Chain A
């Protein structure tokens, strides 16, 4: 279970590392900004999504990434089955 769900944050979007929650220094400037934009766009979807308990939402690794539905994956609510994000500390 992630720290965010354990402390009870109701809606959580996973990012790539503690020192840069809204960035990724391993990317070039344009790619990093595109990643940040996807994060914030996802966060805006998430605040418009009903949840009943702490829930982790993933963000597409690449723009228009395939295989991602809108909303939490099955079994993701409550942090169960949420895969660790890249660079998570």
Chain B
């Protein structure tokens, strides 16, 4: 007994739609009938009972920087009345990952069944809202194995089942109360036994993963470089005018350094909640070494000091927020031509 096929709409970027690369990243959203690019293989893997009825594609720049882009894309998808929306795989491509995540988040919000696919290090991962995301490989070279893993997860979503870590799910999963057949004591003992048996990975609470960051090339000549000073030591103007959190920061801030030669006691203070701030408040240069950086600037050891410092509170910060701060800080500093950054960590 077979019912009507599950109707799937697939979202891809301009590159995987075959429109072009970076030069076409400004292309607005377009819908085509049937599968396109990786959707062709995905449709084969899904087989009978599932049909990719349409593909919606959009340039990555358009999708991530144009106000209302996600709404336009979601509207094109909704017109086809799909049973399931699939986005990606986006691999480690940042803008494509953000676009996929925002599209499935919006579609999920609109009540559609959705799933996205990207690498666990993709900055889009945390923007998928309540929609499930399954892991892809790092690059399109892993397309085959990535689609092999994605296809059964799509089938699960289509069947109304929950996608779990066992299906390759990555990122936030909504917490759902359930009653386990075994007590926590029994499960804990099982985990201890598993560990004694050599299984060091078994856990009910997976730890966050840390990225591997490729070190930047060295600065050729610091005496010609624009240098920025940054801190996660929560050093802010004394009144903490922007309400920086003392723990679990959700934001970072910037404050001017122009016409200042030192971080004067009384004018700045650390609101960090993870250590005693007595020494920091006694001499805030202990957190942000402005006094000696100015001195070195005057002597020509650095080209120039950037006119603002960036600050957050590094105390119980979620990995997702920390990654976002990092991406935003790098974007900001690059845009302003900063070549080296000294970050004090408490």
The residues of A with any CB-CB pair to B shorter than 8 Å are 4, 6-11, 15, 18-23, 25, 32-33, 36-37, 39-41, 43-45, 47-54
Contact = CB atoms under 8 A, between A and B. Distances in A.
B218 interface: yes
Given A37-B292, A37-B296, A44 B301 contact: yes
Nearest to B277: A19
A8 to B, nearest CB: 5
Contacts of A44: 222, 227, 296, 301-302, 340, 342
A22 B283 CA distance: 10
B293 A23 contact: no
B342 A8 contact: no
Contacts of B275: 18-19
Nearest to A45: B222
A19 B270 CA distance: 10
21 contacts: A6-B210, A9-B213, A15-B344, A18-B275, A19-B276, A20-B279, A20-B287, A21-B286, A21-B287, A22-B285, A22-B289, A23-B285, A25-B282, A36-B285, A36-B292, A44-B222, A44-B342, A45-B222, A47-B222, A48-B218, A49-B218
Nearest to B283: A23
A19 B279 contact: yes
Contacts of B301: 41, 44
A48 B340 CA distance: 9
Contact of B213 (A10, A20, A36): A10
Given A10-B215, A52-B215, 7 more contacts: A7-B210, A19-B278, A20-B279, A20-B287, A21-B286, A23-B283, A23-B289
Given A8-B213, A23-B283, A18 B218 contact: no
B292 A4 contact: no
Nearest to A39: B289
B88 interface: no
B22 to A, nearest CB: 27
B287 A40 contact: no
Given A40-B293, A51-B215, A21 B210 contact: no
B211 interface: yes
Nearest to B282: A25
* Interface of A: prevailing SS: loop
Residue with the highest number of chain A CB atoms closer than 10 Å, among B212, B231, B283, B288: B283
Interface string B28-71: 00000000000000000000000000000000000000000000
Nearest to A44: B222
B296 A40 contact: yes
B196 interface: no
A21 B342 CA distance: 12
A22 to B, nearest CB: 4
Contacts of A53: 215
A4 B314 CA distance: 13
Contacts of A50: 215, 217-218
Nearest to A3: B345
Interface string B301-319: 1100000000000000000
B292 A33 contact: yes
A49 B211 CA distance: 22
A40 B292 CA distance: 8
Nearest to A55: B215
A4 B345 contact: yes
Residue with the highest number of chain B CB atoms closer than 10 Å, among A9, A43, A51, A52: A43
B205 interface: no
Contacts of A40: 289, 292-293, 296, 342
A25 B286 contact: yes
B240 interface: no
B324 to A, nearest CB: 16
Residue with the highest number of chain A CB atoms closer than 10 Å, among B217, B231, B344: B344
A20 B220 CA distance: 29
Contacts of B295: 37
A33 B346 contact: no
A36 B288 CA distance: 10
